[in-house]
């Protein structure tokens, strides 16, 4: 908390304001400090009287302005007997879970109607028991209406609430900085009450509030020595008005017997619970002007070394602050509230934060839904425009080569005409048309001793009946036929042999084969190939 913070403690009689800074070195620097009288009927034991709000607002506004307090952030430390606190043990949980745990067990800590109170806590210590980590807590509860009133007051003063602490915790945080590690009794003497605490290793072990304070001594002095209140306070601060023990039967000293007896009972209670760590020393912190001799009385009656804390450790004043060191102790609650304050949070603030959080998440959900919808719409829309552009580009390319379609159409028309002509030509051709070329070939090439007795042709299939002088002659004839490229599938269907009376041998045989001119067949095949090729190209 490096920035300046305004701390305010509102009591029934007086209001204390202090502008302080808590540095990273854990030093509290007091820049401004002022005490003003509380307007009549404005405060009752920490409760702010809303009907007298204007008077309280006017008083505080004037004090802030007149003392040139610039900070707009405030920490309230509530001084009220209606704030109750209790030590408790809880499992080691994270903050959010720990808060839920405390709220769930609130009825076990306090005999109150939980919904009418605001709870908070501070961690005193952590330890391990039966292998489980546990936390020692100081749980506090304050009436909701009381806490709400302080938030309303801050709003009216145009101040931002950083924390709402309570005096018990504020003083505790400051006291922790004043003691050593050894078991120490701390007596904080206030005007009307005294807080008695026991610390071990700077950890609070026990704390009690005793309803006796400095006013007990001042009132007795006023009665015995007929002094005014101011004179009694001045005498307590400048002269030793207390004896060293109650054995002197001094009336002023006797006024503190109840206080000392209560402190002794607190020590005894602690001793029964912590016999292994007895209290070895004590210190006295007096709010405001001191009571000379108080430490000697406590030392002798409690039988432990007791010292008076005249200057607060880890607390310094601004060089421009014209306030005696002894007077800084008047602002212990203000100073302690910046060290490690608890925070009573108004239920209205909590509910408002929840609503804002819910609204925030709702707005976020709506934005996410809108974003998803935009993506769902935009993605296909982008695809549509992309495809549309591609389509237009393709159509443009098609339009640029549209003339090719006319060429293709002309090609198909010409090809159809060609096919029709070729088919018509094929109908006019007959292999028998070429039979004359076959006859001429036979006359020129067949063996001389072959005699053809008959020749018939039907659609290119030729059947020859002939005679020869021997089978050798027939074989030569067949070879001649096969040598002709226009002849195929030569087959000697039947062979018979006769011998006449003079011993002449005559072979009779029938031969079949296919005949067709090679050039015509090639022409037909070429047309077919061309057709196939053209089809493939098309």
Tokens of 303: 């039988």
Contact predicate 334/33, CB 8 Å: yes
pLDDT for the residue 96: 83
pLDDT tens track for 73-108: 999 999 888 888 888 899 998 888 898 898 888 888
pLDDT tens track for 422-470: 888 777 766 677 788 888 888 888 888 888 888 888 878 889 998 888 8
Mean pLDDT of 180-184: 90
Contact predicate 196/293, CB 8 Å: no
Residue 9 predicted with pLDDT over 90: yes
Q: Following CA atoms 237, 243, 246, 249 in sequence, which dihedral angle do they give, to the nearest 10 degrees?
A: -110
Short-list 192, 78, 97, CA closest to 145: 78
Q: Which phi and psi (to 5°) does residue 10 adopt? A: -105, 110
Three-state DSSP class for 192? coil
Tokens of 514: 């296919």
The CA distance from 335 to 188, in Å, is 15
Burial profile 494-508: b = 16 or more Cβ within 10 angstroms, e = fewer: eeeeeeeeeeeeebb
Percentage with pLDDT > 70 across the chain: 92
The CA distance from 136 to 149, in Å, is 30
Residue 523 predicted with pLDDT over 50: no
Confidence class of residue 161 from pLDDT cuts 50, 70 and 90? very high
Counting beta carbons within 10 angstroms of the beta carbon of residue 519, is it exposed (0 to 12), middle (13 to 18) or buried (19 or more)? exposed
pLDDT tens track for 225-243: 999 988 998 898 889 999 9
SS3 content of the chain, % helix, strand, coil (to 5): 45, 30, 25
- Indicate left, alpha or beta for 431 from its phi (over 0: left) and psi (-120 to 50: alpha): alpha
pLDDT tens track for 236-267: 888 999 999 998 889 999 999 999 999 999 99
The CA distance from 255 to 223, in Å, is 12
Contact predicate 88/55, CB 8 Å: no
- Indicate left, alpha or beta for 60 from its phi (over 0: left) and psi (-120 to 50: alpha): alpha
Q: Which of 36-50, 484-498, 509-523 has the lowest mean pLDDT?
A: 509-523
The CA distance from 439 to 421, in Å, is 31
The CA distance from 180 to 203, in Å, is 10
In Å, how far are 214, 369, 491 from 174, measured between CA atoms? Answer: 20, 52, 133
Three-state DSSP class for 250? coil
Angle between helix axes 294-302 and 257-273 (nearest 10 degrees) is 50
Look at strands 203-210 and 160-166 and give their pairing: unpaired
Residue 522 predicted with pLDDT over 70: no
């Amino acid at each position: 908390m490096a920035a300046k913070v305004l701390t305010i403690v509102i009591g029934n009689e007086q209001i204390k304001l202090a502008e302080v800074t808590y540095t990273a070195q854990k030093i509290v620097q007091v820049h401004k400090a002022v005490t003003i009288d509380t307007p009549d009927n404005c405060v009752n034991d920490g409760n702010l009287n809303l009907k007298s709000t204007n008077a309280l607002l006017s008083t505080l506004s004037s004090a802030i302005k007149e003392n040139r307090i610039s900070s707009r952030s405030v920490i309230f430390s509530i001084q009220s007997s209606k704030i109750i606190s209790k030590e408790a043990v809880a499992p080691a949980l994270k903050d959010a879970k720990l808060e839920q745990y405390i709220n769930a067990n609130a009825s076990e800590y306090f005999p109150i109607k939980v919904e009418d109170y605001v709870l908070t806590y501070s961690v005193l210590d952590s330890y391990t028991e039966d292998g489980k980590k546990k936390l020692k807590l100081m749980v506090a509860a304050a009436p909701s209406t009381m806490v709400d009133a302080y938030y309303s007051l801050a709003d009216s003063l145009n101040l931002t609430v950083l924390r709402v602490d309570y005096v018990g915790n504020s003083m505790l945080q400051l006291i922790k900085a004043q003691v050593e590690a050894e078991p120490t009794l701390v007596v904080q003497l206030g005007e009307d009450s005294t807080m008695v605490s026991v610390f071990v290793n700077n950890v609070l072990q026990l704390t009690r509030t005793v309803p006796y304070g400095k006013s007990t001594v001042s009132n007795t002095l006023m009665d015995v020595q007929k002094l005014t209140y101011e004179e009694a306070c001045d005498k307590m601060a400048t002269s030793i008005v207390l004896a060293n023990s109650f054995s002197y039967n001094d009336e002023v000293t006797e006024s503190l017997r109840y206080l000392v007896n209560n402190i002794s009972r607190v020590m005894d209670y602690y001793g029964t619970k912590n016999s292994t760590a007895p209290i070895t020393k004590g210190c006295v912190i007096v709010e405001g002007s001191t009571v000379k001799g108080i430490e000697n009385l406590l030392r002798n009656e409690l039988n432990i070394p007791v010292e008076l804390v005249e200057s607060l450790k880890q607390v310094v004043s601004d060089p421009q602050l014209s306030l005696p060191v002894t007077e800084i102790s008047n602002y212990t609650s203000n100073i302690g509230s910046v060290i490690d304050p608890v925070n009573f949070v108004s239920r209205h603030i909590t509910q408002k934060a929840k609503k804002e959080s819910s609204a925030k998440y709702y707005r976020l959900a709506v934005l996410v839904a809108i974003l998803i919808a935009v993506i769902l719409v935009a993605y296909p829309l982008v695809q549509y425009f992309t495809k549309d552009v591609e389509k237009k580009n393709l159509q443009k390319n098609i339009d640029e080569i549209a003339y090719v379609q006319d060429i293709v159409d002309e090609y198909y028309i010409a090809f159809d005409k060609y096919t029709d002509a070729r088919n018509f030509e094929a109908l006019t051709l007959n292999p028998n048309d070429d039979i004359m070329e076959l006859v001429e070939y036979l006359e020129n090439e067949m063996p001389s001793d072959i005699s053809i007795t008959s020749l018939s042709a039907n659609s290119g299939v030729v059947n020859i009946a002939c005679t020869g002088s021997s089978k050798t002659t027939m074989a030569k004839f067949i070879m001649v036929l096969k040598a002709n490229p226009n002849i195929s599938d030569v087959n000697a269907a039947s062979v018979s042999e006769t011998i006449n009376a003079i011993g002449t041998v005559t072979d009779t045989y029938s031969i079949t084969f296919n005949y067709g001119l090679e050039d015509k067949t090639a022409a037909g095949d070429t047309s077919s190939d061309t057709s196939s090729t053209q089809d493939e190209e098309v």
